[in-house]
Copies of this chain bind each other. A is one copy, B any other.
Amino acid sequence: MTTDSTLAIDGPRFWSTVMRSGQIGPGKAGGLRRLALTDADKEMRDLFITWCTETGCTVTVDRVGNIFARRPGSDEHLPPVLIGSHLDTQVAGGKYDGIVGVLAGLEVLRTLDDRRVRTKRPLELVCWTNEEGARFTPPMVASGTFAGVFDPDWVLRLRDDDGKVFGDELKRIGYDGKAAVGGRPIDAYFELHIEQGPILDRETVPVGIVTGGYAVRGMHVDVHGETAHAGPTPMDRRRNALVGASMLAVAVNEIGWTYHATEGKATVARLVAWPNKAGILSEYAQLTCDVRHAEREVAERMWAEVKAAMADCARRASVEMSVAGEWQFGSERFDPGCVRLVREAAKSLGVRHRDILSQAGHDAYYISRIAPTAMIFTPCRDGISHNEAEHAELDETVPGVNVLLHAALARANR
């Protein structure tokens, strides 16, 4: 690969789009609360499309709301090189998670326009719907649908915690597109994302070359007990679903600590109970948990311990527990060819870099199932993410965007 090292993005222009995005859907403490398919999401999508149209791209929206902005190649018969990430956030999210990846892609297109660079293959910039899963579970649902993992009609029927339907909300904000979801060849996919961990920040390395992901196994657990009076019911006649779910929450957390030395994690992120009122024992609870480890075999061992804890807690709390939904991701290894392009771009540009594994879920996981894929990580302060205090610096992000530019360009011209 020969790299024209004079080809570089416009850092301040790129950052101005990130800052403009940071005004749409403000949280309480300086971050963002821009849940998928809300009015704020619509406002951001509209602005994003305006920006894409200004670069001369053709914009299409598919049935689950994924937005594609296409920049033609000299050979339009070739499949496109895809760049992208997501613009939705957690309920207490930051201004960078997902967003810098989409807007880095926009900046790549703008830079190519500035220099009148024509690529052989078309480039497409994508914004995936509802990556966070903060509003509609599961996360990464729309990229997963693009990759053929989920059925579009099933996705359109998903409900949020208030009972609102994905398809209705998509229509409400005007993003119920007509394009089929996926089912077309993609030459390659590149995604830039903040690390969401502390490694790059601690080592002051601006670029992480993501070789793959932590193995993740997660589930929703249904807990069934029985309502009874919180007062006179003897302890040995209680079947409090909330107690069973709490026991499992504690056990899962302890499993995380058992594997802490090797950077394993186990998380209880969600627990709901019903009736969940003073004076009455709950007959139902649901708990959402997962385990993560760099080594698949260890993740499997952790998962077996969670399953054993489930049986143990059910017995101790005199409740029934069953798996209401189970998932796994992150065992994907990214495409060696695409990863090599990223590494070569970093070397050619003289950017410090290191290999790294992703510990979070990303749209790139699903896309890697249908197209050669690579990811680039950029630093975030203290590794803090999914918190309004999430922070990234322009200077530490620009090198990654230039690496993205050159890697995508090399792939599109090969």
**Which residues does A use to contact B, with CB under 8 Å?**
90-92, 132-134, 137-139, 195-198, 214, 216, 218, 226-237, 240, 242-243, 245-247, 249-250, 253, 256-257, 260, 263-273, 275-283, 288, 290, 292, 317, 359-361, 383-388
Contact = CB atoms under 8 A, between A and B. Distances in A.
Contacts of A195: 232
B92 A275 contact: yes
Contact of A271 (B216, B226, B273): B273
Nearest to A327: B278
A376 to B, nearest CB: 16
Nearest to A313: B250
Nearest to A266: B235
Contacts of A290: 230
A71 B133 CA distance: 61
A268 to B, nearest CB: 6
Given A265-B234, A278-B269, A253 B240 contact: yes
Nearest to A140: B279
Contacts of A197: 229, 231-233
Contact of A360 (B231, B249, B265, B271): B231
A387 B234 contact: no
Given A243-B268, A360-B232, A227 B277 contact: no
Given A133-B278, A233-B265, A92 B227 contact: yes
Contacts of A273: 270-271
Given A246-B246, A253-B240, A280-B134, A387 B270 contact: no
B279 A232 contact: no
Given A240-B268, A246-B268, A228 B278 contact: no
Given A233-B265, A360-B232, A246 B227 contact: no
A266 to B, nearest CB: 8
A265 B279 CA distance: 12
Contact of A265 (B91, B231, B242, B278): B231
A92 B278 contact: no
A257 B231 contact: no
B235 A278 contact: no
13 contacts: A90-B277, A91-B275, A134-B277, A134-B278, A197-B233, A218-B278, A229-B386, A235-B257, A240-B268, A242-B269, A246-B247, A246-B253, A250-B250
A90 B231 contact: no
Contact of A383 (B92, B232, B271): B232
Nearest to A260: B235
Nearest to A231: B360
A273 to B, nearest CB: 6
A278 B288 contact: yes
A191 to B, nearest CB: 16
Contacts of A133: 277-279
5 A-B pairs closest in CB distance = A197-B232, A246-B249, A232-B359, A231-B360, A246-B246
B361 A279 contact: yes
Contacts of A240: 253, 267-268
A235 B268 CA distance: 12
Given A90-B279, A232-B359, A235-B266, 4 more contacts: A137-B278, A197-B229, A228-B384, A235-B260
